[in-house]
Amino acid sequence: MKIYQYWCEKILTETVDGVEKKRHFRAGTNESMEAAEQAVEQRIRKYNAFRNAALNHTELPEKADPQEDYAPPICEELCHTIDEKNLVTRNRYGALVLNSEELLFLDVDKVPYTFKEMLKRLFRLSVPDARERLIAELEHFLHLPEFQGVGMRVYATSRGFRILLSLPGLETLKSPLMPGLFRQFHTDPLYAELCCRQQCFRARLTPKPARMGMKTMIKFHFPYAEENKDAIAGYLAEYEKKSGEYAVCRLIAQLGKRFTSPAIEYHDKITGCGKRLPLA
């Protein structure tokens, strides 16, 4: 997980086949704004070196070490630090998001029917709802050898479910077990892909604006342009006021081993999971 406090963005204008094009370069660091500026200048120098070598048909510069960690940085405003493994950022539409190397979150949009349940539906017989089917499936998992001693916290969301497992987040994500876990828990494929790319698990903490009747007219493209900062501040004031009328998720079950941590307590507080509010 790469999240930086200081970011710098610069635009390089160049002419390609007679057409003027703009290329955006960004770099981040936790040292200082000056260090971020130096990092983006270094990126531009590397780009120019490769471009000039290609145009002049000369030997290309030496590439980076193939063993280097290529997990892309999460280019979002860093809003709060719980600890070094749990950082809160603001996403592209203004919501707060927990980025965690500690906690293993899984998003479930749909809970598929079993073959037996599909037959019942075919004959118009009653079948359990999504919540009952999910809980039954999770309780089944807890009896399997690989889930012995594992705890699960199950949250209902506006469109599905959020599951928090007591397994260590980043360690499990890097293990051969993770692809199977994504499949077993019917995890959204896009969410699974982002977790693997960014080397962390993400959980939205505040509501989606559209679900509160707000139009997202502002793009939270970080680092924010100076001319957009007043508009962003005004939008966030309205967003935060409306957010108090909604919860993001609701805790509906705790299965297996009971577990908690400061990051879980923060998640539950900010999401409003214990409040009887509409989910958004």
Per-residue pLDDT, 129:
86
For 11-38, write each residue's pLDDT tens digit. Answer: 888 877 778 888 888 888 989 999 988 9
256: left (phi over 0), alpha (psi -120 to 50) or beta: left
What's the confidence (pLDDT) of residue 208? Answer: 95
Listed by start position, the domains of the chain span 1-73, 78-271
Contacts of 197 (CB under 8 A, 6+ apart): 71, 72
Tens digits of residue pLDDT in 79-116? 999 999 999 999 999 999 999 999 999 999 888 777 77
Question: Residue 150 in contact with residue 143, Cβ under 8 Å?
Answer: no
Predicted pLDDT at 67: 42
Among residues 236, 169, 263, 249, the alpha carbon closest in space to that of 204 is found at 249
User: What is the per-residue pLDDT for 198?
Assistant: 93
Instruction: Give residue 244's identity as a one-letter amino acid code.
Output: G
Q: What is the mean pLDDT of the chain?
A: 89
Average pLDDT over residues 230-236: 92
Yes or no: say if 32 and 17 are a contact pair by the CB < 8 Å rule. no
Residue 92 has φ and ψ, to the nearest 5°, of -65, -20
Task: State the virtual CA torsion across 212, 205, 188, 164 in degrees, nearest 10.
Answer: -140
Tell whether the model's pLDDT for residue 233 goes beyond 80: yes
What is this structure's pTM?
0.84
Residues 6+ apart with CB under 8 A from 96: 79, 80, 88, 89, 90, 204, 205, 206, 270
Q: CA 2 to CA 252: how far, in whole Å?
A: 32
Q: What is the pLDDT of residues 137-148, one digit of tens each?
A: 999 999 999 899
Q: What pLDDT is recorded for position 237?
A: 94
Q: pLDDT of 151-204, one tens digit each? A: 999 999 999 999 999 999 999 999 999 999 999 998 988 999 999 999 999 999
**pLDDT for position 66:** 44
Q: What is the mean pLDDT of residues 204-232?
A: 88
Res 10: pLDDT: 86
Is the pLDDT assigned to residue 65 strictly greater than 50?
no
Percentage of the chain lying above the pLDDT 90 cut: 57
Average pLDDT over residues 231-257: 95
